[in-house]
Structure 1
Amino acid sequence: MSELGTDFRRLWISSGVSNLGDGVRLIAVPLLAATITRDPMAVAGITIAAELPWLLVSLFAGAAADRYDRRWLMIGVQLARCAVAALLALTVFTGTTRMLLLYGFVLALGICEVLYDVAAPTILPRVVGKDQLPRANARLSAVELTTNEFLGPPLGGLLFRLAPAVPFVLDAVSFAASAAALRRVRGTFRADQGEDQSRGGVRRMLRDIGEGARWLRHRPLLVGMTAVVTVMNLARAMTLAVFVLYALELLRLGAIGFAVLSSAVAVGAVAATFVADRRGWRHAGPVMLASALGHGVTTAATGLTTNAWVAGAAGAGFGFATMTWNVLSSSVRQAVVPDRLLGRVGSVHRFVSWGSLPIGGVLGGLLAEWLGLRAPFLAGGAAVIVAALAASPLLLGVAALLPEAEAGGESNSGGESGSDGESGSDGESGGG
């Protein structure tokens, strides 16, 4: 950690604290929903509300990240999330929470999360050198997954069992602590645009978004990778939409058992961060292809079992595959995309790939109602395997870009000299 500098350590602490609260809420919200209704479609509405903001505001979030100081944008968002989580805790404490109200809170937190997650990866290249990006992303991913999916979920299940409002109080406190740590990160994190990008209103912002979309569109390899991630996220949302019912009804687990099962993903994910830390850029293409295939196989395997131990092992394998993909793809993108376009290119990528999450939530709920709780896992896993195999020539071509990526990113503006990926917490999605 010391070799990455003091400011990276502060960023790392901010991320860890925030993701601990997220992990607690990740379990508490579906458990709260399950106490209100056992209708699969109604419970799936939580996932839809959480992921819908990627379709609604992600493009504007990218433009904002390239206009304003990214660190201050992240601080403001964390404070807003603190206020929303505190209000949710109040409604739970007073017993006034209803499904529509819960949807509203989840939607508001989702909008804030989009703003934060689009801005977060854009500041990392200024905190560490480009040659340190794989290591820095691995360290951030390790703390995010450890807190979000390993420590947070069991703690959330335990706290919810003690008192349903307590997990949301902890979530609010975590956002405030994260903002305080971000405040101590030194430097200016506003993209150098050569002019005042804060002016011009909506029309100017739409032009900014168009510039990022054109940059992305002219790189076939990057477009192909985005397509694979879109299917990965679609499949993950299909399974998350009914995962609480799968655990409670098919695996016969309680609240704490559900939380422990959810945290199994983090076991494999943390292991993957150590592998990515050692290998850096090497063998990125074949490893990314294997990771996409592993994502699909482990998703389908989860739907084939009613044994909690087997489901946990599949979850660990899923975490390993997904985190390996995320670390490598986000590092390549940060290295090759010009700094002034990082927010917009990332937001266009996420608009497409993460925009599939609410669609996946709807499909997961419908498949569960029509065909049973296994169906979202089997259909999602099969779709990812097909997508990975179809894109295998493109994915194997990633390795050819890495020497250019190590040399620097801003000169890589032609043909296929680009790649994709996202950093930040991907615990709730299939891939970056």
Structure 2
Amino acid sequence: MTGLGADFRRLWLSSAVSNLGDGVRLTALPLLAAAVTRDPVAVAVVSVAAELPWLLVSLPAGALADRVDRRRLMVAVQLVRMCLAALLTATVLADRSSIAVLCAVVFLLGIGEVVYDAAAPTILPRIVPREQLTRGNARLFGVELGANEFAGPPLGGLLFRLGQAVPFVLDAVSFAASAALLSRLRGTFRPAGAADAPRAGVVRAIGEGFGWLWRHPVIRALSVVVTFMNLARAMTMAVFVLYALETLDLSAVGYGVLSSAVAVGAVAGSWAAERIRPAAAGPCLVAAVLGHGLTTVAMGATSNPWAAGASSAGFGFATMTWSVLTAAVRQTIVPDRLLGRISSVHRFLSWGSLPLGSLLGGVLAAAYGLRVPFAAGGAAVVLAALVAAPTLLGVSALLAGPGGAGGAGEAGGVSGSGS
């Protein structure tokens, strides 16, 4: 963290503890659902409930984030999520777990996540210099994936074996710790010009963000491509616990360890992405999307846990490379007053595909077997990479030009957006 400052350390620690709790919960929830039922569609419905808020709440959440102090909004959301995690703990302890109850709780947690993530991408450009954005993103994405998908999953599986409620206790504590760290960030985090600008209606404000994103060819391409990537990811994750327990014949702890393999590749990807020169960004983005699709297909094709783990690690490397580079692109060129809305429109398009992907994955697995969602999802991502390659290659000129990461482009300033 040398050179990035004390506030960055607080932001980094907040992300670390919060994502550790997320990783524990996101491993424990499928195990809890699988303890209730082994029906692939029913298990997938829990994933749909968790992801549906991205489709329903993303756009108004972005408008909200462009009207209020984003740090205070994030602190408030973390405290609400702490209460929801405590409620889930009480539900499990009372032996009242059911698919309906799990869907209700994860839906509310999902709403909190959407609001939090609408504000979160705007924080980094306020606390680090513009030339450090790629480095800062790499560190944040690295700890996010490391905690969420490396440390969290095996810990979640282990804690679940100790007691079904134990993982959710840790999740509640992680939200509280994250809120405390965020509250110590110094400075103002209100949108630039928010106090002087006329207050537009919510629908008009959302439309302005949507129109800006869709008129920018590179930002539009990034959103469309990642929509296919998330669709494929949701198709596989909806049945991943059944794939691990039945196809790979793993235990609950083994499932957690396999889930963490993606973070091994992600940590390596964050290290590599930090060192990618602007001129190489375009080809690296194309390679990352192709890697995402091909490793998804490879995972579904094997019955060997070691091969599945290697594919998962490759997937993590590709995904991390994509995430770091695309975040730097958006933080470079998006105006501060549109940060929340552009982030939320981007997530509405990309993460809004998650409920559809989860449902589609469950249906395909029930009808044709657990391997089919991997093959279909991976093939769709490879096709998207080939179609979008000419536009993605243009990112190199965008970052290397006078308005890029090393310049002072009109839209970006020191307060860009990323997601």
* TM-score, scaled relative to structure 2: 0.96
Is residue 2:9 matched to residue 1:9? yes
Q: After the TM superposition, which residues 320-399 of structure 1 pair with which residues of structure 2 at under 5 Å, given as runs?
A: 320-399=317-396
2:336–2:417 contact (8 Å) kept in structure 1: no
1:338–1:409 contact (8 Å) kept in structure 2: no
1:336–1:408 contact (8 Å) kept in structure 2: no
TM-fit CA distance, 1:412: 6.9
TM-fit CA distance, 1:217: 1.5
Give per-residue Cα distances to partners, 1:30-61, cap 9 Å, x unaligned: 00000000000000011101110011110011
Q: After the TM superposition, which residues 168-317 of structure 1 pair with which residues of structure 2 at under 5 Å, given as runs?
A: 168-193=168-193, 195=195, 204-279=201-276, 281-317=278-314
1:135–1:280 contact (8 Å) kept in structure 2: no
Give per-residue Cα distances to partners, 1:84-110, cap 9 Å, x unaligned: 000000111111111101000000110
Number of corresponding residues: 414
Give per-residue Cα distances to partners, 1:308-362, cap 9 Å, x unaligned: 0000000000000000000000111011101111111111111111110100011
Give the distance between the partners of 2:171 and 2:68, measured in 1 at CA.
26
SS at match of 1:138: helix
Letter in 2 for 1:254: S
1:337–1:409 contact (8 Å) kept in structure 2: no
SS at match of 2:89: helix
Give the distance between the partners of 2:409 and 2:339, measured in 1 at CA.
11
Letter in 1 for 2:176: A
Give per-residue Cα distances to partners, 1:279-316, cap 9 Å, x unaligned: 25341100000000000000000110000000000000
Letter in 2 for 1:405: G
**Range 211-220 or range 299-308, more displaced:** 211-220
1:55–1:355 contact (8 Å) kept in structure 2: yes
Identity %: 63
TM-fit CA distance, 1:223: 1.3
SS at match of 2:3: helix
TM-fit CA distance, 1:2: 2.4
1:296–1:380 contact (8 Å) kept in structure 2: yes
Give the distance between the partners of 2:316 and 2:244, measured in 1 at CA.
18
TM-fit CA distance, 1:134: 0.4
> Which residue of the partner structure matches residue 42 of structure 1?
42
SS at match of 2:381: helix
The 1:196/1:91 distance shift into structure 2, 3 A limit, reads farther
2:279–2:397 contact (8 Å) kept in structure 1: no
2:334–2:417 contact (8 Å) kept in structure 1: no
> Which residue of the partner structure matches residue 29 of structure 2?
29
Letter in 2 for 1:166: V
SS at match of 1:4: coil
Give the distance between the partners of 1:178 and 1:155, measured in 2 at CA.
19
Is residue 2:404 matched to residue 1:405? yes
> Which residue of the partner structure matches residue 117 of structure 1?
117
TM-fit CA distance, 1:408: 2.9
Give per-residue Cα distances to partners, 1:262-281, cap 9 Å, x unaligned: 00000000001111122253
Letter in 1 for 2:162: L
Give the distance between the partners of 1:213 and 1:101, measured in 2 at CA.
34
1:20–1:147 contact (8 Å) kept in structure 2: yes
Give the distance between the partners of 1:118 and 1:310, measured in 2 at CA.
36
Give the distance between the partners of 2:29 and 2:295, measured in 1 at CA.
25
The 1:194/1:80 distance shift into structure 2, 3 A limit, reads closer
1:272–1:324 contact (8 Å) kept in structure 2: yes
Give per-residue Cα distances to partners, 1:51-82, cap 9 Å, x unaligned: 10011110011111111000000000000000
Give the distance between the partners of 1:6 and 1:169, measured in 2 at CA.
29
The 1:137/1:317 distance shift into structure 2, 3 A limit, reads same
Give the distance between the partners of 2:251 and 2:47, measured in 1 at CA.
20
Alignment RMSD, CA only? 1.5
Give the distance between the partners of 1:405 and 1:366, measured in 2 at CA.
44
The 1:421/1:248 distance shift into structure 2, 3 A limit, reads farther
Give the distance between the partners of 2:81 and 2:88, measured in 1 at CA.
11
> Which residue of the partner structure matches residue 146 of structure 2?
146
1:11–1:181 contact (8 Å) kept in structure 2: yes
Q: After the TM superposition, which residues 83-102 of structure 1 pair with which residues of structure 2 at under 5 Å, given as runs?
A: 83-102=83-102
Letter in 2 for 1:85: A
* TM-score, scaled relative to structure 1: 0.93
Give per-residue Cα distances to partners, 1:231-290, cap 9 Å, x unaligned: 000000000000000000000001000000000000000001111122253411000000
Letter in 1 for 2:389: S
Gaps in structure 2 of 5+ consecutive residues: none
Give the distance between the partners of 1:217 and 1:62, measured in 2 at CA.
16
Give per-residue Cα distances to partners, 1:176-229, cap 9 Å, x unaligned: 0000000111011001235466x85xx712111111111112112221221111
1:28–1:167 contact (8 Å) kept in structure 2: yes
Gaps in structure 1 of 5+ consecutive residues: 414-419, 424-432
